Copies of this chain bind each other. A is one copy, B any other.
């Protein structure tokens, strides 16, 4: 698919209106940051990103007030490493975050993955705290496994106000059936905004559980889809997104009421692509999100697994109603970008894998100077077409995927092939060689790891054959 097929914008977004200066009378404070991160929401799962049915009026409002990026990349197709990439500004595999943290000690050892994020590395909240910020983290954490072990608590990462679903102290809900997690998280966020030190700028991370399955939306939000059967899983999926959206609306209202809109960057994104409906390895299978036009879902290195919505708003600082289709932004860019906006200097010797993209926030198309790289060594247990190799690199419009054992190599040119179906390896041997070499060098620099049998390969059981690996993992 060619990008030009898409470039037909409706007029529902207002024309960009960019005011570059702060208004007289506003305190020249460092800016605040509110960072909403959804869980397993796909690139295509928002009204403002083109979903024809799902209702997200508050996130759409944010998009009208700010800028939406169509090429935002998280640094992993699954939860924990994406979060580690945001927190550290470095590719998560550098920290042993090859996949999400889970509670099976045998498997953690086998896969050689970290059990928690090292609290002594350079971290976004700690840098901002040192720069005078008050910091809060509310909701999902998932930077440690917390069953039976005693991993570091959020305050060890530079968090002042923590309300997570994971730690006994300050614990809030479990996020699923027993609690309406998004509402519960928003309550805590409002509490933070009320009690915070008004003399200080703040960073508030609000990381949702929604719309990760299972879905337990309220009747109120199921009724938002009157033409859909209420007990259909798709209805529930859309309703739980609408529920999260409503809670985001409460925060947006509060920011406006407090008069801090023009000094508060509000960001919305998601941690990875949507769960795949036929993912046989999931605890509660069959998530139902949309990856938009892209190949791949959660767990795949194709675009649909790692490309997520990214909206940033800050009236007066970020152009309103703009859609940036040119600038590639990534999770690892957020630390240097936020620090730049906060005029917080980065520690000596610290090297981010990302870069300061604050000019893109301000409305300028920004060219990356650094490629993005991914490593994800877990077997994909859903639609074969979405099984990607375990390594990938994105350099401008070129994207190359490969396996360390050289079993597959694919080269795509995203500006003319958004769906990643036209493998150009044979047409562009020089580009292939250059990117592959760069990617494999990076892979060899990573901490020890294990590639799960079958990961990165196109495999599927054939008549007469059972897919034992899946059966085993499901029986565990």
Min CB–CB distance A10 → chain B (angstroms): 5
Indicate if the CB atoms of A284 and B232 lie closer than 8 Å: yes
Q: Is A163 engaged at the interface, CB distance under 8 Å to the other chain? A: no
Q: Are B290's CB and A278's CB within 8 A? A: yes
The number of residues on chain A lying at the interface, defined by a beta carbon within 8 Å of a beta carbon of chain B, is 64
Q: How far is the CA of A463 from the CA of B52 in the complex (A)?
A: 11
| A466 interface residue per 8 A CB criterion | yes
Q: Which residues of B contact A214 (CB under 8 A)?
A: 229, 232
What string of 1s and 0s marks CB contacts (under 8 Å) between A276-305 and chain B?
011010001110101111110000000000
Contact of B53 with A12 in the complex, beta carbons under 8 Å: no
Smallest beta-carbon distance A443→chain B, Å: 23
CA distance A7 to B460 in the complex (A): 11
Indicate if A68 sits at the interface (CB-CB under 8 A). Answer: yes
- Chain B contacts for A5, CB-based, 8 A: 457-459
B293 touches A464 (CB 8 A): no
Of B52, B63, B295, which is within 8 A of A385 by CB?
B295
A-B contact pairs, 28 of them (CB 8 A): A1-B384, A1-B460, A5-B457, A6-B462, A6-B465, A9-B465, A10-B464, A13-B464, A44-B461, A51-B461, A52-B461, A52-B467, A52-B471, A53-B280, A68-B464, A70-B463, A227-B475, A228-B285, A229-B284, A232-B285, A234-B277, A278-B288, A291-B383, A292-B461, A385-B385, A385-B419, A421-B423, A422-B423
Listed in ascending order, the chain A residues whose CB lies under 8 Å from chain B are 1, 5-10, 12-13, 44, 47-53, 63, 68, 70, 214, 227-229, 232-234, 277-278, 280, 284-286, 288, 290-295, 323, 383-385, 419, 421-423, 457-468, 470-471, 474-475
